Structure 1
Amino acid sequence: MKIKFFCPRWGAEHIPWDPFCAMVKEAGFDGVETPIPFEQDEKDIITTALQRHNLLLIGQFYQSFEQDIAAHKESFQAHLENLAALHPVLIDSQTGKDYYTADQNRELFELATKVTNDTGVIIAHETHRNKALFAAHIAAQLLIENPAIVITADFSHWCNVSESLLEQQAAAVALAVSRSVHIHARVGHAESAQVSDPRAPEWQTELAAHLHWWDQIVAGRLKQGASLLTITPEFGPAPYMPALPFTKMPVANQWDINVYMMNLLKERYER
Protein backbone atom coordinates (compact mmCIF):
# COMPACT_ATOMS: atom_id res chain seq x y z
CA MET A 1 0.00 0.00 0.00
CA LYS A 2 1.25 3.45 -0.91
CA ILE A 3 0.82 6.38 1.46
CA LYS A 4 0.65 9.78 -0.20
CA PHE A 5 1.03 13.05 1.73
CA PHE A 6 -0.85 16.23 0.84
CA CYS A 7 -0.18 19.82 1.87
CA PRO A 8 -3.13 22.00 2.84
CA ARG A 9 -3.65 25.17 0.85
CA TRP A 10 -5.30 26.52 4.02
CA GLY A 11 -3.05 29.16 5.55
CA ALA A 12 -1.03 29.73 2.37
CA GLU A 13 -3.70 31.42 0.25
CA HIS A 14 -1.55 34.58 0.10
CA ILE A 15 1.16 32.74 -1.85
CA PRO A 16 0.59 32.55 -5.62
CA TRP A 17 -0.06 29.03 -6.85
CA ASP A 18 3.14 28.38 -8.76
CA PRO A 19 5.61 29.31 -5.99
CA PHE A 20 3.36 27.57 -3.46
CA CYS A 21 3.48 24.34 -5.46
CA ALA A 22 7.25 24.68 -5.79
CA MET A 23 7.49 24.90 -1.97
CA VAL A 24 5.18 21.90 -1.55
CA LYS A 25 7.21 19.76 -3.94
CA GLU A 26 10.52 20.79 -2.42
CA ALA A 27 9.27 19.89 1.07
CA GLY A 28 8.45 16.34 -0.07
CA PHE A 29 4.65 16.37 -0.33
CA ASP A 30 2.93 14.36 -3.05
CA GLY A 31 0.07 16.77 -3.62
CA VAL A 32 -2.15 19.58 -2.40
CA GLU A 33 -5.53 19.53 -0.65
CA THR A 34 -7.57 22.59 -1.60
CA PRO A 35 -11.01 23.97 -2.39
CA ILE A 36 -11.57 24.67 -6.07
CA PRO A 37 -13.30 27.83 -7.32
CA PHE A 38 -15.98 27.79 -10.01
CA GLU A 39 -14.22 30.37 -12.22
CA GLN A 40 -12.46 28.62 -15.10
CA ASP A 41 -9.48 30.99 -15.24
CA GLU A 42 -8.74 30.39 -11.55
CA LYS A 43 -9.10 26.63 -12.03
CA ASP A 44 -6.63 26.81 -14.92
CA ILE A 45 -4.06 28.55 -12.70
CA ILE A 46 -4.38 25.82 -10.07
CA THR A 47 -4.26 22.86 -12.43
CA THR A 48 -1.35 24.31 -14.41
CA ALA A 49 0.71 24.80 -11.23
CA LEU A 50 -0.09 21.28 -9.98
CA GLN A 51 0.86 19.73 -13.32
CA ARG A 52 4.06 21.77 -13.64
CA HIS A 53 5.27 20.51 -10.28
CA ASN A 54 3.91 16.96 -10.69
CA LEU A 55 1.55 17.21 -7.71
CA LEU A 56 -1.67 15.33 -7.05
CA LEU A 57 -4.96 16.96 -6.01
CA ILE A 58 -7.40 16.31 -3.19
CA GLY A 59 -10.45 18.52 -3.58
CA GLN A 60 -11.95 20.02 -0.45
CA PHE A 61 -15.53 21.03 0.26
CA TYR A 62 -16.17 23.23 3.30
CA GLN A 63 -18.82 25.66 2.05
CA SER A 64 -21.76 24.13 3.94
CA PHE A 65 -23.21 27.49 4.91
CA GLU A 66 -26.89 27.29 3.93
CA GLN A 67 -29.30 26.64 6.78
CA ASP A 68 -32.19 25.64 4.51
CA ILE A 69 -31.72 22.00 3.50
CA ALA A 70 -33.02 22.43 -0.06
CA ALA A 71 -30.63 25.30 -0.77
CA HIS A 72 -27.88 23.39 1.00
CA LYS A 73 -28.35 20.31 -1.20
CA GLU A 74 -28.26 22.38 -4.37
CA SER A 75 -25.03 24.10 -3.33
CA PHE A 76 -23.50 20.85 -2.08
CA GLN A 77 -24.08 19.06 -5.38
CA ALA A 78 -22.71 21.98 -7.41
CA HIS A 79 -19.50 22.08 -5.35
CA LEU A 80 -18.99 18.30 -5.47
CA GLU A 81 -19.48 18.17 -9.23
CA ASN A 82 -17.11 21.12 -9.68
CA LEU A 83 -14.45 19.32 -7.64
CA ALA A 84 -15.00 15.93 -9.30
CA ALA A 85 -14.59 17.46 -12.76
CA LEU A 86 -10.87 17.89 -12.03
CA HIS A 87 -10.48 14.15 -11.30
CA PRO A 88 -8.89 14.50 -7.85
CA VAL A 89 -7.53 11.54 -5.90
CA LEU A 90 -10.58 12.03 -3.67
CA ILE A 91 -12.81 14.76 -2.24
CA ASP A 92 -12.70 15.65 1.44
CA SER A 93 -16.17 16.86 2.34
CA GLN A 94 -17.31 18.71 5.44
CA THR A 95 -20.78 17.29 4.92
CA GLY A 96 -24.00 18.40 6.56
CA LYS A 97 -24.74 20.22 9.79
CA ASP A 98 -24.82 19.26 13.45
CA TYR A 99 -28.33 20.74 13.68
CA TYR A 100 -29.74 18.82 10.72
CA THR A 101 -31.75 15.71 11.47
CA ALA A 102 -30.28 12.29 10.74
CA ASP A 103 -32.63 12.05 7.75
CA GLN A 104 -31.48 15.39 6.37
CA ASN A 105 -27.82 14.44 6.70
CA ARG A 106 -28.61 11.08 5.09
CA GLU A 107 -29.98 12.94 2.06
CA LEU A 108 -26.61 14.64 1.72
CA PHE A 109 -24.70 11.36 2.07
CA GLU A 110 -26.92 9.84 -0.62
CA LEU A 111 -26.33 12.81 -2.89
CA ALA A 112 -22.56 12.42 -2.43
CA THR A 113 -22.80 8.71 -3.20
CA LYS A 114 -24.62 9.54 -6.44
CA VAL A 115 -21.81 11.94 -7.42
CA THR A 116 -19.28 9.20 -6.69
CA ASN A 117 -21.25 6.70 -8.78
CA ASP A 118 -21.51 9.20 -11.64
CA THR A 119 -17.87 10.34 -11.62
CA GLY A 120 -15.84 7.59 -9.94
CA VAL A 121 -14.39 10.06 -7.43
CA ILE A 122 -14.41 8.89 -3.80
CA ILE A 123 -15.96 11.38 -1.35
CA ALA A 124 -14.70 11.10 2.22
CA HIS A 125 -16.95 12.79 4.77
CA GLU A 126 -14.94 14.62 7.40
CA THR A 127 -15.35 14.22 11.16
CA HIS A 128 -15.63 17.95 11.71
CA ARG A 129 -17.26 20.19 14.28
CA ASN A 130 -20.55 21.82 13.18
CA LYS A 131 -20.99 19.15 10.46
CA ALA A 132 -22.92 15.89 10.34
CA LEU A 133 -20.08 13.84 11.89
CA PHE A 134 -19.26 16.37 14.60
CA ALA A 135 -19.05 13.97 17.55
CA ALA A 136 -18.01 10.35 18.01
CA HIS A 137 -21.34 9.06 19.32
CA ILE A 138 -23.38 10.85 16.64
CA ALA A 139 -21.00 9.74 13.89
CA ALA A 140 -21.19 6.12 15.03
CA GLN A 141 -24.95 6.05 14.59
CA LEU A 142 -24.78 7.79 11.18
CA LEU A 143 -22.09 5.36 10.00
CA ILE A 144 -24.26 2.40 11.02
CA GLU A 145 -27.30 3.89 9.27
CA ASN A 146 -25.31 4.87 6.13
CA PRO A 147 -23.07 1.86 5.42
CA ALA A 148 -21.89 3.10 2.01
CA ILE A 149 -20.08 6.21 3.25
CA VAL A 150 -16.38 6.50 4.02
CA ILE A 151 -14.73 9.21 6.06
CA THR A 152 -11.84 11.57 6.56
CA ALA A 153 -10.59 10.89 10.07
CA ASP A 154 -9.94 14.13 11.91
CA PHE A 155 -10.36 13.00 15.49
CA SER A 156 -8.94 16.28 16.82
CA HIS A 157 -12.49 17.67 16.50
CA TRP A 158 -13.98 14.83 18.52
CA CYS A 159 -11.46 15.44 21.31
CA ASN A 160 -12.55 19.05 21.49
CA VAL A 161 -16.28 18.27 21.35
CA SER A 162 -16.07 15.58 24.04
CA GLU A 163 -13.43 17.35 26.17
CA SER A 164 -11.44 14.12 26.24
CA LEU A 165 -9.08 11.86 24.34
CA LEU A 166 -12.11 9.65 23.62
CA GLU A 167 -11.18 7.14 26.33
CA GLN A 168 -14.85 6.28 26.89
CA GLN A 169 -15.79 6.04 23.20
CA ALA A 170 -13.54 3.24 21.97
CA ALA A 171 -16.33 1.47 20.06
CA ALA A 172 -17.26 4.62 18.12
CA VAL A 173 -13.60 5.29 17.31
CA ALA A 174 -13.09 1.68 16.14
CA LEU A 175 -16.06 1.97 13.79
CA ALA A 176 -14.74 5.27 12.42
CA VAL A 177 -11.28 3.76 11.95
CA SER A 178 -12.79 0.94 9.88
CA ARG A 179 -14.45 3.46 7.53
CA SER A 180 -11.49 5.87 7.17
CA VAL A 181 -9.85 6.34 3.76
CA HIS A 182 -8.16 9.71 4.40
CA ILE A 183 -6.51 11.24 7.47
CA HIS A 184 -6.25 14.84 8.56
CA ALA A 185 -3.17 14.56 10.73
CA ARG A 186 -3.81 17.30 13.23
CA VAL A 187 -3.46 16.78 16.98
CA GLY A 188 -6.25 18.12 19.17
CA HIS A 189 -6.87 18.15 22.89
CA ALA A 190 -9.74 18.42 25.32
CA GLU A 191 -10.17 22.19 24.89
CA SER A 192 -9.23 22.77 21.26
CA ALA A 193 -8.97 21.02 17.90
CA GLN A 194 -5.29 22.01 17.67
CA VAL A 195 -2.43 21.84 20.12
CA SER A 196 -0.03 24.77 19.95
CA ASP A 197 2.88 22.63 18.74
CA PRO A 198 2.94 18.79 18.63
CA ARG A 199 6.72 18.87 19.08
CA ALA A 200 6.38 20.32 22.59
CA PRO A 201 6.73 17.94 25.55
CA GLU A 202 3.49 19.11 27.16
CA TRP A 203 1.49 17.65 24.23
CA GLN A 204 3.10 14.21 23.98
CA THR A 205 0.12 12.42 25.55
CA GLU A 206 -2.19 13.94 22.94
CA LEU A 207 0.26 13.16 20.13
CA ALA A 208 0.54 9.55 21.27
CA ALA A 209 -3.26 9.16 21.28
CA HIS A 210 -3.58 10.45 17.73
CA LEU A 211 -0.65 8.35 16.51
CA HIS A 212 -2.39 5.29 17.94
CA TRP A 213 -5.57 6.07 16.00
CA TRP A 214 -3.64 6.72 12.79
CA ASP A 215 -1.69 3.48 13.26
CA GLN A 216 -5.01 1.64 13.47
CA ILE A 217 -6.20 3.26 10.23
CA VAL A 218 -2.98 2.31 8.42
CA ALA A 219 -3.23 -1.28 9.70
CA GLY A 220 -6.91 -1.43 8.76
CA ARG A 221 -6.35 -0.20 5.22
CA LEU A 222 -3.56 -2.76 4.79
CA LYS A 223 -5.88 -5.52 6.01
CA GLN A 224 -8.60 -4.34 3.62
CA GLY A 225 -6.13 -4.67 0.74
CA ALA A 226 -6.19 -0.97 -0.12
CA SER A 227 -3.61 0.22 -2.63
CA LEU A 228 -3.54 3.80 -1.31
CA LEU A 229 -3.97 5.81 1.87
CA THR A 230 -3.84 9.61 1.81
CA ILE A 231 -2.75 11.84 4.69
CA THR A 232 -2.91 15.63 4.99
CA PRO A 233 -1.06 17.16 7.95
CA GLU A 234 -3.63 19.87 8.62
CA PHE A 235 -2.43 22.17 11.34
CA GLY A 236 -4.02 25.52 10.55
CA PRO A 237 -3.22 29.20 10.88
CA ALA A 238 -4.65 31.52 13.54
CA PRO A 239 -7.21 31.29 15.09
CA TYR A 240 -6.72 27.51 14.95
CA MET A 241 -3.11 28.26 15.81
CA PRO A 242 -3.00 29.98 19.23
CA ALA A 243 -1.77 33.57 18.98
CA LEU A 244 -0.34 36.05 21.43
CA PRO A 245 -2.81 38.67 22.68
CA PHE A 246 -2.76 42.14 21.18
CA THR A 247 -0.11 41.32 18.54
CA LYS A 248 -1.96 38.27 17.12
CA MET A 249 1.45 36.70 16.57
CA PRO A 250 1.13 32.91 16.08
CA VAL A 251 2.91 30.96 18.81
CA ALA A 252 4.39 28.51 16.26
CA ASN A 253 4.96 28.19 12.52
CA GLN A 254 2.16 26.38 10.68
CA TRP A 255 4.29 25.38 7.69
CA ASP A 256 7.09 23.97 9.86
CA ILE A 257 4.63 21.93 11.92
CA ASN A 258 2.93 20.41 8.87
CA VAL A 259 6.28 19.49 7.31
CA TYR A 260 7.38 18.01 10.65
CA MET A 261 4.19 15.95 10.88
CA MET A 262 4.61 14.67 7.32
CA ASN A 263 8.20 13.61 8.00
CA LEU A 264 7.25 12.02 11.33
CA LEU A 265 4.58 9.89 9.67
CA LYS A 266 6.71 9.07 6.63
CA GLU A 267 9.39 7.65 8.91
CA ARG A 268 6.82 5.90 11.08
CA TYR A 269 5.10 4.13 8.19
CA GLU A 270 8.08 3.35 5.99
CA ARG A 271 8.21 -0.05 7.63
Structure 2
Amino acid sequence: MKIKFYAPQWGNTLPFDTFCNNVKSAGYDGVEMALPFEKKETDEILEALAKHGLELIGQYWQSFERDINLHAANYEKYLRNLIAAKPVFINCQTGKDYFSFDHNKRLFDLAAALAAESGIRIIHETHRGKSLYAAHVTHQYLTRISNLRITLDISHWCNVHESLLEDQAEEIALAIAHTDHIHSRVGHPEGPQVNDPRAPEWAETLEKHLQWWDQVVAVHNAKNTPLTVTTEFGPATYMPLLPYSQTPVANQWDINVHMMGLLKDLYQS
Protein backbone atom coordinates (compact mmCIF):
# COMPACT_ATOMS: atom_id res chain seq x y z
CA MET A 1 0.00 0.00 0.00
CA LYS A 2 1.37 3.40 -1.01
CA ILE A 3 0.72 6.33 1.28
CA LYS A 4 0.54 9.73 -0.37
CA PHE A 5 1.71 12.84 1.47
CA TYR A 6 0.37 16.38 1.14
CA ALA A 7 1.66 19.74 2.30
CA PRO A 8 -0.67 22.25 3.94
CA GLN A 9 -0.97 25.55 2.13
CA TRP A 10 -1.91 27.00 5.53
CA GLY A 11 0.93 29.20 6.70
CA ASN A 12 2.55 29.68 3.30
CA THR A 13 3.72 33.25 2.63
CA LEU A 14 5.68 32.60 -0.58
CA PRO A 15 4.39 33.12 -4.13
CA PHE A 16 2.27 30.05 -4.87
CA ASP A 17 4.46 28.85 -7.74
CA THR A 18 7.53 29.02 -5.48
CA PHE A 19 5.64 27.18 -2.75
CA CYS A 20 4.64 24.44 -5.23
CA ASN A 21 8.25 24.07 -6.36
CA ASN A 22 9.33 23.64 -2.74
CA VAL A 23 6.53 21.15 -2.08
CA LYS A 24 7.52 19.02 -5.06
CA SER A 25 11.23 19.22 -4.24
CA ALA A 26 10.56 18.10 -0.67
CA GLY A 27 8.89 14.92 -1.91
CA TYR A 28 5.21 15.63 -1.38
CA ASP A 29 2.49 14.30 -3.70
CA GLY A 30 0.27 17.36 -3.46
CA VAL A 31 -1.21 20.23 -1.47
CA GLU A 32 -4.23 20.47 0.82
CA MET A 33 -5.93 23.86 0.66
CA ALA A 34 -9.10 25.88 0.30
CA LEU A 35 -9.84 27.65 -2.98
CA PRO A 36 -11.04 31.20 -3.72
CA PHE A 37 -14.32 31.87 -5.51
CA GLU A 38 -12.61 34.05 -8.13
CA LYS A 39 -12.15 31.82 -11.20
CA LYS A 40 -8.95 33.53 -12.34
CA GLU A 41 -7.27 32.97 -8.99
CA THR A 42 -8.38 29.35 -8.83
CA ASP A 43 -7.22 28.72 -12.40
CA GLU A 44 -3.77 30.10 -11.51
CA ILE A 45 -3.60 27.80 -8.49
CA LEU A 46 -4.62 24.75 -10.52
CA GLU A 47 -2.14 25.63 -13.27
CA ALA A 48 0.70 25.89 -10.74
CA LEU A 49 -0.22 22.55 -9.19
CA ALA A 50 -0.36 20.89 -12.61
CA LYS A 51 2.94 22.48 -13.66
CA HIS A 52 4.69 20.89 -10.69
CA GLY A 53 2.86 17.56 -10.91
CA LEU A 54 1.02 18.05 -7.63
CA GLU A 55 -2.41 16.79 -6.61
CA LEU A 56 -5.05 18.81 -4.77
CA ILE A 57 -7.00 17.92 -1.65
CA GLY A 58 -9.80 20.46 -1.30
CA GLN A 59 -10.20 21.87 2.19
CA TYR A 60 -13.30 23.37 3.80
CA TRP A 61 -13.01 25.09 7.17
CA GLN A 62 -15.31 28.13 6.90
CA SER A 63 -17.92 26.98 9.46
CA PHE A 64 -19.02 30.23 11.06
CA GLU A 65 -22.78 30.80 10.67
CA ARG A 66 -24.90 30.04 13.73
CA ASP A 67 -28.17 29.81 11.77
CA ILE A 68 -28.36 26.30 10.32
CA ASN A 69 -30.14 27.36 7.13
CA LEU A 70 -27.53 29.99 6.30
CA HIS A 71 -24.79 27.61 7.41
CA ALA A 72 -26.03 24.84 5.11
CA ALA A 73 -26.35 27.22 2.16
CA ASN A 74 -22.78 28.46 2.55
CA TYR A 75 -21.52 24.92 3.16
CA GLU A 76 -22.97 23.84 -0.18
CA LYS A 77 -21.58 26.93 -1.91
CA TYR A 78 -18.04 26.23 -0.70
CA LEU A 79 -18.24 22.52 -1.46
CA ARG A 80 -19.49 23.10 -5.00
CA ASN A 81 -16.62 25.53 -5.55
CA LEU A 82 -14.14 22.86 -4.46
CA ILE A 83 -15.87 20.14 -6.49
CA ALA A 84 -15.50 22.24 -9.64
CA ALA A 85 -11.70 22.00 -9.27
CA LYS A 86 -11.88 18.17 -9.30
CA PRO A 87 -9.66 17.51 -6.26
CA VAL A 88 -8.69 13.97 -5.31
CA PHE A 89 -11.15 14.42 -2.44
CA ILE A 90 -12.46 17.11 -0.09
CA ASN A 91 -11.67 17.33 3.62
CA CYS A 92 -14.34 19.18 5.60
CA GLN A 93 -14.38 20.74 9.03
CA THR A 94 -18.11 20.12 9.08
CA GLY A 95 -20.67 21.67 11.40
CA LYS A 96 -20.38 23.20 14.85
CA ASP A 97 -19.86 21.78 18.31
CA TYR A 98 -23.03 23.54 19.53
CA PHE A 99 -25.28 22.28 16.71
CA SER A 100 -27.67 19.47 17.54
CA PHE A 101 -27.11 15.99 16.17
CA ASP A 102 -29.86 16.58 13.58
CA HIS A 103 -28.38 19.89 12.42
CA ASN A 104 -24.92 18.40 11.95
CA LYS A 105 -26.44 15.32 10.31
CA ARG A 106 -28.15 17.64 7.82
CA LEU A 107 -24.69 18.82 6.78
CA PHE A 108 -23.28 15.28 6.59
CA ASP A 109 -26.25 14.27 4.43
CA LEU A 110 -25.75 17.28 2.18
CA ALA A 111 -22.08 16.40 1.73
CA ALA A 112 -23.01 12.80 0.92
CA ALA A 113 -25.49 13.97 -1.73
CA LEU A 114 -22.91 16.29 -3.31
CA ALA A 115 -20.33 13.49 -3.30
CA ALA A 116 -22.76 11.10 -4.99
CA GLU A 117 -23.70 13.75 -7.56
CA SER A 118 -20.12 14.72 -8.40
CA GLY A 119 -18.13 11.54 -7.82
CA ILE A 120 -15.77 13.54 -5.54
CA ARG A 121 -15.29 11.92 -2.13
CA ILE A 122 -16.05 14.18 0.85
CA ILE A 123 -14.80 13.26 4.32
CA HIS A 124 -15.04 15.03 7.66
CA GLU A 125 -12.29 16.19 10.02
CA THR A 126 -12.05 15.70 13.76
CA HIS A 127 -11.56 19.30 14.79
CA ARG A 128 -12.22 21.50 17.81
CA GLY A 129 -15.29 23.69 17.47
CA LYS A 130 -16.81 21.52 14.73
CA SER A 131 -19.19 18.54 14.77
CA LEU A 132 -16.48 15.94 15.45
CA TYR A 133 -14.78 17.95 18.19
CA ALA A 134 -14.50 15.18 20.79
CA ALA A 135 -13.89 11.44 20.82
CA HIS A 136 -17.13 10.45 22.56
CA VAL A 137 -19.23 12.76 20.36
CA THR A 138 -17.60 11.41 17.19
CA HIS A 139 -18.36 7.88 18.45
CA GLN A 140 -22.07 8.78 18.52
CA TYR A 141 -21.98 10.09 14.94
CA LEU A 142 -20.02 7.10 13.62
CA THR A 143 -22.35 4.69 15.38
CA ARG A 144 -25.47 6.32 13.97
CA ILE A 145 -24.09 7.25 10.52
CA SER A 146 -22.18 4.11 9.61
CA ASN A 147 -20.92 5.30 6.21
CA LEU A 148 -19.27 8.47 7.61
CA ARG A 149 -15.57 8.65 6.71
CA ILE A 150 -13.20 10.94 8.54
CA THR A 151 -9.92 12.79 8.59
CA LEU A 152 -8.29 11.87 11.88
CA ASP A 153 -6.62 14.89 13.45
CA ILE A 154 -6.40 13.37 16.89
CA SER A 155 -4.30 16.26 18.21
CA HIS A 156 -7.56 18.17 18.77
CA TRP A 157 -8.99 15.45 20.97
CA CYS A 158 -5.88 15.40 23.16
CA ASN A 159 -6.52 19.08 23.79
CA VAL A 160 -10.30 18.82 24.22
CA HIS A 161 -10.08 15.89 26.66
CA GLU A 162 -6.92 17.17 28.40
CA SER A 163 -5.32 13.75 28.09
CA LEU A 164 -3.68 11.31 25.72
CA LEU A 165 -7.06 9.56 25.60
CA GLU A 166 -6.05 6.60 27.75
CA ASP A 167 -9.68 6.16 28.88
CA GLN A 168 -11.29 6.26 25.42
CA ALA A 169 -9.98 3.14 23.70
CA GLU A 170 -13.38 2.14 22.27
CA GLU A 171 -13.98 5.60 20.83
CA ILE A 172 -10.50 5.72 19.28
CA ALA A 173 -10.85 2.26 17.77
CA LEU A 174 -14.09 3.18 15.99
CA ALA A 175 -12.59 6.44 14.70
CA ILE A 176 -9.56 4.58 13.34
CA ALA A 177 -11.85 2.15 11.52
CA HIS A 178 -13.52 5.12 9.77
CA THR A 179 -10.32 7.02 8.91
CA ASP A 180 -9.37 7.72 5.27
CA HIS A 181 -6.95 10.62 5.81
CA ILE A 182 -4.58 11.70 8.59
CA HIS A 183 -3.47 15.13 9.71
CA SER A 184 -0.17 14.28 11.37
CA ARG A 185 -0.07 17.08 13.90
CA VAL A 186 1.03 16.06 17.40
CA GLY A 187 -1.16 17.43 20.17
CA HIS A 188 -0.89 17.26 23.93
CA PRO A 189 -3.22 17.62 26.91
CA GLU A 190 -2.83 21.40 27.06
CA GLY A 191 -2.78 22.26 23.37
CA PRO A 192 -3.37 21.06 19.80
CA GLN A 193 0.29 21.30 18.77
CA VAL A 194 3.55 20.55 20.55
CA ASN A 195 6.17 23.23 19.97
CA ASP A 196 8.52 20.84 18.16
CA PRO A 197 7.93 17.07 17.82
CA ARG A 198 11.68 16.55 17.36
CA ALA A 199 12.38 17.68 20.93
CA PRO A 200 13.12 14.84 23.38
CA GLU A 201 10.63 16.09 25.95
CA TRP A 202 7.81 15.19 23.52
CA ALA A 203 9.06 11.67 22.77
CA GLU A 204 6.30 9.92 24.76
CA THR A 205 3.59 12.14 23.24
CA LEU A 206 4.91 11.57 19.71
CA GLU A 207 5.07 7.82 20.33
CA LYS A 208 1.40 7.80 21.38
CA HIS A 209 0.39 9.51 18.13
CA LEU A 210 2.55 7.07 16.15
CA GLN A 211 0.73 4.18 17.82
CA TRP A 212 -2.60 5.62 16.67
CA TRP A 213 -1.31 6.17 13.14
CA ASP A 214 0.18 2.65 13.11
CA GLN A 215 -3.32 1.33 13.67
CA VAL A 216 -4.74 3.39 10.80
CA VAL A 217 -2.01 2.12 8.48
CA ALA A 218 -2.68 -1.46 9.59
CA VAL A 219 -6.39 -1.14 8.74
CA HIS A 220 -5.62 0.17 5.26
CA ASN A 221 -2.91 -2.42 4.69
CA ALA A 222 -5.33 -5.20 5.58
CA LYS A 223 -7.96 -3.87 3.19
CA ASN A 224 -5.46 -2.69 0.54
CA THR A 225 -7.18 0.70 0.49
CA PRO A 226 -5.46 4.04 -0.18
CA LEU A 227 -4.33 6.26 2.68
CA THR A 228 -3.27 9.90 2.59
CA VAL A 229 -1.48 12.12 5.11
CA THR A 230 -1.22 15.89 5.37
CA THR A 231 1.62 17.00 7.62
CA GLU A 232 -0.42 19.80 9.12
CA PHE A 233 1.66 21.46 11.78
CA GLY A 234 0.43 25.04 11.70
CA PRO A 235 1.96 28.53 11.73
CA ALA A 236 1.65 31.09 14.52
CA THR A 237 -0.34 31.07 16.68
CA TYR A 238 -0.74 27.30 16.47
CA MET A 239 3.03 27.39 16.55
CA PRO A 240 3.87 28.74 20.03
CA LEU A 241 5.58 32.15 20.11
CA LEU A 242 8.18 33.71 22.32
CA PRO A 243 6.78 36.49 24.51
CA TYR A 244 7.27 40.11 23.48
CA SER A 245 9.06 39.39 20.19
CA GLN A 246 6.26 37.06 19.00
CA THR A 247 8.92 34.95 17.27
CA PRO A 248 7.83 31.37 16.42
CA VAL A 249 9.74 28.85 18.53
CA ALA A 250 10.34 26.54 15.55
CA ASN A 251 10.03 26.48 11.76
CA GLN A 252 6.68 25.18 10.48
CA TRP A 253 8.01 24.05 7.10
CA ASP A 254 10.96 22.17 8.61
CA ILE A 255 8.70 20.37 11.09
CA ASN A 256 6.24 19.31 8.40
CA VAL A 257 8.99 18.00 6.13
CA HIS A 258 10.47 16.18 9.14
CA MET A 259 7.10 14.56 9.88
CA MET A 260 6.78 13.40 6.28
CA GLY A 261 10.25 11.87 6.38
CA LEU A 262 9.55 10.17 9.69
CA LEU A 263 6.31 8.62 8.45
CA LYS A 264 7.82 7.60 5.10
CA ASP A 265 10.64 5.85 6.93
CA LEU A 266 8.16 4.03 9.16
CA TYR A 267 5.56 3.04 6.58
CA GLN A 268 7.28 2.93 3.17
CA SER A 269 10.68 1.44 3.96
TM-score range, shorter chain: over 0.9
Aligned residue identity for 2:142 = L
Q: 1:255 aligns with which of 253, 256, 265?
A: 253
Aligned residue identity for 2:127 = H
Deviation (angstroms), 1:121 = 1.1
Deviation (angstroms), 1:86 = 1.2
Q: How many residues align?
A: 269
Is residue 270 from structure 1 mapped to residue 268 from structure 2 by the alignment?
A: yes
Post-superposition CA distance 1:83-132 (Å, at most 9, x none): 11111111110000000000100000000000110111111100000000
Q: How many angstroms apart in 2 are the aligned matches of 1:246 and 1:205?
A: 30
Aligned residue identity for 2:102 = D
**Equivalent residue for 1:58?**
57
**Equivalent residue for 1:127?**
126
Deviation (angstroms), 1:231 = 0.2
Equivalent residues in 2 for 1:142-157, closer than 5 Å: 142-157=141-156
**Equivalent residue for 2:227?**
229
TM-score (norm 1): 0.98
Aligned residue identity for 2:132 = L
Q: How many angstroms apart in 2 are the aligned matches of 1:39 and 1:192?
A: 35
**Equivalent residue for 2:7?**
7
Deviation (angstroms), 1:164 = 0.3
Aligned-pair identity in percent equals 55
CA contact (8 A) 2:7 2:31 kept: yes
Q: How many angstroms apart in 2 are the aligned matches of 1:97 and 1:81?
A: 20
Is residue 139 from structure 1 mapped to residue 134 from structure 2 by the alignment?
A: no
Q: How many angstroms apart in 1 are the aligned matches of 2:221 and 2:116?
A: 24
Deviates more, 1:156-165 or 1:75-84: 75-84
Q: Which runs of 4+ in 1 moved over 2 A?
A: none
Deviation (angstroms), 1:81 = 1.1
Deviation (angstroms), 1:224 = 2.2
Q: How many angstroms apart in 2 are the aligned matches of 1:232 and 1:96?
A: 21
**Equivalent residue for 2:200?**
201
Deviation (angstroms), 1:225 = 2.6
Q: How many angstroms apart in 1 are the aligned matches of 2:122 and 2:200?
A: 36
Q: How many angstroms apart in 2 are the aligned matches of 1:195 and 1:257?
A: 11
**Equivalent residue for 2:40?**
41
Q: How many angstroms apart in 2 are the aligned matches of 1:85 and 1:149?
A: 22
Equivalent residues in 2 for 1:80-99, closer than 5 Å: 80-99=79-98
Gaps of 5+ in 2: none
**Equivalent residue for 1:30?**
29
Aligned residue identity for 1:258 = N
Aligned residue identity for 1:94 = Q
Post-superposition CA distance 1:234-262 (Å, at most 9, x none): 00011100000111100000000000000
Deviation (angstroms), 1:223 = 1.7
Aligned residue identity for 1:232 = T
3-state SS in 1 of match to 2:150: strand
Q: How many angstroms apart in 2 are the aligned matches of 1:224 and 1:114?
A: 25
**Equivalent residue for 1:70?**
69
Aligned residue identity for 1:96 = G
Q: How many angstroms apart in 2 are the aligned matches of 1:37 and 1:106?
A: 26
CA contact (8 A) 2:2 2:268 kept: no
3-state SS in 1 of match to 2:156: helix
Gaps of 5+ in 1: none
Is residue 16 from structure 1 mapped to residue 29 from structure 2 by the alignment?
A: no
3-state SS in 1 of match to 2:11: coil
CA RMSD of aligned residues (A): 0.7
Deviation (angstroms), 1:16 = 1.3
Q: How many angstroms apart in 1 are the aligned matches of 2:111 and 2:73?
A: 12
**Equivalent residue for 1:172?**
171
TM-score (norm 2): 0.99
Q: How many angstroms apart in 1 are the aligned matches of 2:229 and 2:99?
A: 29
Q: How many angstroms apart in 1 are the aligned matches of 2:42 and 2:84?
A: 11
Q: How many angstroms apart in 1 are the aligned matches of 2:143 and 2:224?
A: 22
